[in-house]
Chains A and B, each alone.
Chain A
Amino acid sequence: MKSFSLRALAIAVSATLAAVAPATQAAESVKIGVVTFLSGPAAGPFGVPARNAAEILIEELNAGKVPGPHATKGFGGAPIQMVLVDEFGSTTTQVSEYRNLVQRQNVDIVVGYISSGNCLAIAPVAEELKKVTVIFDCGTPRLLEENAYKYVFRTNAHSGMDSIAAALYVASTKPGTKSYAGINQNYAWGQDCWSDFEGTMKAKLPAAAVTTSQMPKLFAGQYGTEISALLAAKPDVIHSSFWDGDLEALILQAAPRGLFKKSTVILTAGETAIHKLGNAIPDGTVIGARGPHSVFAPDTEINRWFQKTYRDRFNTPPNYASYHMVQAILGAKTAYEKAKAAAGGADPTQEQIIAAFEGLTYESASGKVEMRNSKGHQAIQETAYGTTKMVKGQLTVTNVKRYPADMVNPPEGVKSADWIASGFKR
């Protein structure tokens, strides 16, 4: 009995150590750590589509099948190896996992992060460990506006753009708006989006007044009371930055009660819902995709390739999270190859990759991406909003308005909140 339990303990301990032993790296490959939500509520709408996009992009890159400027195999000829990590769990766990990725798994580049809390916590660690980290989806403007990081890049425009453009769309399509309301999740994302929208409306449509701002708890799921309050307030326009589970619940619960008919509803992150809930979304809803992605993507060779390959494999169209991931990896690839060329064909160092990445302009599946703000670390991009309309049983977007990058992203060195408050001074 005693020897059994001691032996069992020894086996268990060695198995544990083996599982966490440093992984050896295949020679000549570029190792990318990909961190995104694989469990929890953010997995379905964002994490898994992003992972799928990463999987398929890396596969196709390694086979050299990606068209246009990205035709080189892998990263500069070296095959890409992906290490996948679940972004679920507390921030402490994520910091721990990041250190794991860099110090134990020895990845060359980290691409990831959807949750703003995680992004903010990871950034200083990236600086400490000197590892190029490409943020692909986090929304908070604070990340690169309040700090200067050398190793951290963000290839998607931040959340300020979404709500600014939403307000601009309202101002141009419904200039007679007298009142507006909001229903946003009561946490940093929802609070920021609402204040950006309110701030822009004050500047562009000063005559319009706020009737109510509903801020239910994140993941509340039941919005009957909030919907009643919105119906009673009778606003012309309703702004919501709800995302997936909550967004779908809101649509399902509000549409039959006529909320979408009585007010124009703007869903700044609505694109993820149109693929699954297409026929439940009433006509006349304004949809955003956090950038010119998915239904707003330009008809380029890369986009056609991405749409086809993704749909063939996963039987569903890619959503904006998928596009964000593609954007991040393609950005990293372009920077890596530029650095490699500048280094005369040798594998580039982290510093060389940084030098190549700063200020880079490259083409993604949704068009041009310019790493212009925050000293070349923050991407700016155009964005688009459209109004839904059912045509022959398929949901389409009409009245699409595109907003050039300069119109919806603050100038270099200016915080987006300050920019809005100043009335968009350039």
Chain B
Amino acid sequence: MTSLNRALVAIALSAVVAGGAAAALVVSSEHTPNKGLGIVLGLVTAWAFVGTGLYAWWRRPGSRFGALFTAVGFTYLLGSLTASDDSVVFTIGVVVSNLFFVVFAHVLLSYPDGRLQERWHAWLLGAGYALCVVGPLPQLLWGWTERMQESCPDCPESALLVARNDTLRDALNAVTSVIGVAIVATVLVILIRRWRAATPPQRRGMAPILWSGVAMLVLLGSALGSDAAGISRLTDVLGWLGLLVFASVPWVFLIGLVRSRVARAGAVSELLLRLGEAPGTGTLRARLADALGDRSLQLVFWLEDKGSWVDAHGHPFALPADDDPARGWTAVELEGRRVGAIVHDRTLSDDPELLGSVAAAAGLAMENERLQAQLRARVEELRASRARIVEAGTQERRRLERNLHDGAQQRLVAMSLTLRLAQSKVEKDPEKAVEMLAGAQEELTLAQAELRELARGIHPAVLSDRGLGAALEALAGRAPIEVDLAELPGDRLPEPIEAAAYFVVAEALTNVAKYAHASHATVRVARMNGRAVVEVADDGIGGADPGRGSGLRGLADRVAALDGHMLLDSPAGSGTRLRAEIPV
């Protein structure tokens, strides 16, 4: 038995003992009417609260609700102290007899987890507790009211009696009654507001407690009011009705609990049937939402290869945090493999068995939808990468246009001018003309060199003619750092793969030269298990940022377009390794 269980049993036993003591006090009382009825009603009510409270405590040890509910039962028993014939005990009894009322308000305000949602609620309850204790004092200090004398002619004298002063007592009673009604009304407003703000699953959970509590507060609040107004008959009726409603609260709560379990169990079996008859076509979410009674329910799917969650549209999805007050989630597995999760209203987390059985029932259908989501995620990714490829193409064209415009084109314009000038000088100043022609020749040589470089950058001819090996050798020969071609494929690879591999190496070497502070790079291209593996490693400073520039991104897209993928491994201080794998 756990320590919690031991404590709960101890509390249950002390409730039995306390109940017995209370009953004994009532039996021995000389001024209490209807002893039998009083004992039965009192014990049934107190024990029902304690029992229900302990059950809730045991089910959800993390919530204070059970403890508070149990406390309502114990404080209710305190009222039996008024049965004592001893003046002091009787007086104490009068002071504490209404405490249960505030403890119950505490339960209502802190439902469902036993924690008050706002600070001023604590002040409100504090005021309630104070009023409970202070409320009877005017009578105890300055003598019983007429109603009290009538209803209990044999009650002992107050141990606190100073002197009879009806005027003072009645004035103070009126004040405490008004304050009491105000507090009750405030609690009612809070509860009704909370109801209006609640989600359907939350409402279902809070309905029994809230409505019986509201009814009881209305009745007892009215009783307080009518007492202050001096309508004693009405006060009695309302008071009794209030107590009856109060006594019914634990039972209503239990009935609600059982009913929702039965309803949910029914919903689960119905879910199983419906999942069986028509395999998932987008209605899985609706069916699970029905079964769990949570219209806000979302399905998310696990993408094993990416290690991430996506929604039904394939968009990335962030699961709610463990301490999210509004949303919770439950993993769905199929044959021990995670396929997805149900994201639901936090209140459903209180019923892990139900979530567990729904999740188990949903496994297979969820796997189907997961595959669809995976497909959508892939389509989404392709869409994005296609857009990037198009954009990269446009950028590249812009770059080429700029290079042509700033380079060769300018030189040709200059040369055209020089030629025209030379032409005009041929007769008058042939020497100058020859000099100018030489200048034009020089410009032309430069323009040719620039065009050659540009053309090589677009697509090196040697790549198509002689293959990747020759092209990489040329690339290595032109690199500003020492490049070791450690491994090259023996035969030609398909052209798109050769081109991708070439540009991966070219971009990687450019980056090495620009950022890595490396003296040496090793290039390896190999065919391995049906894939072309391209690797460029350097001995530089590492710490390369994969998001840097559009170059790497564009390459990753290019490689991805061939169903391959690219990895950048660049720990700070120990070089950079870029690896691309492309299926052949």
Partners in one complex: no
Residues of A that sit less than 8 Å from B by CB: none
